[in-house]
Each structure stands twice: as C-alpha cells, then as structure tokens.
Structure 1
Amino acid sequence: MASAHDFFLLGDHEAAKHLVASTLQGEGFTVTTTPTGGLLAKRGSAAATVWLGGLAGKNFHMSFVVDFMVDQQGRLVARLNRNMTGGALKGGAIGAAKTNTAFEQTANAIGSALHQAGVLAESISQP
C-alpha cells in the first residue's frame, strides 16, 4: 500500500502543474494551493464522514496533497501524498480501504493524463 507516488515530468513546469490540478478536479476533488506552492485536493463531506464513518459512501471525506520539487536533471517532480492514518481514524478498516482505493485511482488518473500529454518521464510508487 503506497503512501506516495512520484511523477517525473518533462517540459514546462507550470503547464504540468496545471495538468495535475485539472486531473484532480476531474476526479471530483476541490483543489486549492498550499502555502508551499503544492496542491491540496479534497472531496467528500467531513460531516457525513464523522457521522457515518466508512459507511458515508461517495460522501466519505478524504484529502491528498501534491508537492512539487525539481530533481537534479531539472525535471519537475509531482509527489502525490496521502495521510496513512486519516482514513482509518475517520472510518476504521472500511475508511482505510476507501482511501487506499481512491489514492490508487487518483495516482492512475494522474499518470494516464500525464502520459497522454507526453510529459511523463517516469513514475514511482513510494511505500
């Protein structure tokens, strides 16, 4: 079960950041900028999750963060992160499973969009 996924990107850094943000929005997340220039992606209802836990269904609240950095080769690295305990604390085993599934689907969607745009050099899942 991965806690982060790194995407190594070619080309214009700002265009790649925009593509990552629009992909997250396409996956149903509300995206805002973090103080460090990354992205905070949230979806679901915190209230429904508090009341129903893992049984909140499509309203199960989750959030992921994308941090951006530049590697030694000058490539933009987009690191999709998740809080390993957040899903379990909010919804027990069901919440953890929902968060894991959503994280994998989100990583796959970002990877696919970047590949289709021709900007994905490589991607690595981090434990």
Structure 2
Amino acid sequence: MASAHDFFLLGDHEAAKHLVAGTLQSNGFTVTSTPSGGLLAKRGSTAATVWLGAMAGKNFHVSFTVDFMVDQEGRLVARLNRNMAGGALKGGVIGAAKTDTAFQETANAIAAAAHQAGVLAESISQN
C-alpha cells in the first residue's frame, strides 16, 4: 500500500497545479487550498462513514492531500498523500481497502491527465 505518490510535472507550475486540482474535482472530490499552498481533496460523507463504516458505500469518506514542491531540475512535484490509518479507523479492514482503492484510482487519474496534457515527466509511488 502506497502512502504517497509523486508526479514530476513539466511546464508552467500554476497550470500544472490547476490540472491536478481539476482532475481531483472531476473525480468527485471537493478541493480546497491548504495553508502551505497545497490541496485538500475530500469525497463522501464523514457522518455516513462514522455511522456505517465501510458499509457507507459510495458515501464512504476519503480525503487526500497534495503537496507541491520543486525538484533540483525545476520541475513541479505534486505529492498525493494519504493517511494510512484513516481508512482502517473508519471502516476496519474493508475501510482500509476502500481507501487504498480510492487512492490508487486517484493516482491513476492524475497520471493519465498529466500524460494526456503532455506534462508528466515521471511518476513514483512511495511506501
């Protein structure tokens, strides 16, 4: 289970940030800015997840953050992060699996959008 995924993006940094945010939104996430200039992406219902756990179905709550930094080559790095304990706390083993699936789907969506836009230089999964 990956806890983070780094996307090394080429070109204009602001355009790349908007691409990541737009991809998250198009995948059903509500996206807000973090104080450090990153993104907080949330999907599902916290209340339904607290009451029903993994049985919340489509309303199962997941949240991820995206931190932005610049590497030595001047590329924007978008790091998709997940809370490893969050899914298990919300829904046990099934909740952890649902969170992992959502994380992998989200990472794949960002990679596909960046590749299609011609800005993906590299993508690395972190454990």
Scaled by the length of structure 1, the TM-score of the pair is 0.99
Q: Deviations over 1:33-63 (max 9, x none)?
A: 0000000000000000010000000000110
Look up the match of 1:89: 89
- Deviation at 1:91? 0.5
SS of the residue aligned with 1:37?
coil
Listed as ranges, the gaps of 5+ residues in structure 2 are none
- Deviation at 1:69? 0.1
Size of the alignment, in residue pairs?
127
Distance, in Å, in 2 between the alignment partners of 1:27 and 1:92 is 24
Q: Deviations over 1:51-94 (max 9, x none)?
A: 00000000001100000000000000000000000000011011
Look up the match of 1:37: 37
- Deviation at 1:4? 0.3
Listed as ranges, the gaps of 5+ residues in structure 1 are none
Are 1:72 and 2:53 matched, yes or no? no
SS of the residue aligned with 1:72?
coil
Look up the match of 1:109: 109
Are 1:27 and 2:61 matched, yes or no? no
Q: Deviations over 1:84-119 (max 9, x none)?
A: 000000110110000000000000000000000000
SS of the residue aligned with 1:19?
helix
Distance, in Å, in 1 between the alignment partners of 2:51 and 2:105 is 25
Look up the match of 1:10: 10
SS of the residue aligned with 1:5?
strand
Look up the match of 2:98: 98
Distance, in Å, in 1 between the alignment partners of 2:27 and 2:94 is 20
- Deviation at 1:25? 0.3
- Deviation at 1:9? 0.5
Distance, in Å, in 2 between the alignment partners of 1:46 and 1:105 is 20
Flag as ranges the 4+ runs of structure 1 deviating above 6 A: none
Instruction: Give the % identical residues.
Output: 84
* Cα RMSD (Å): 0.3
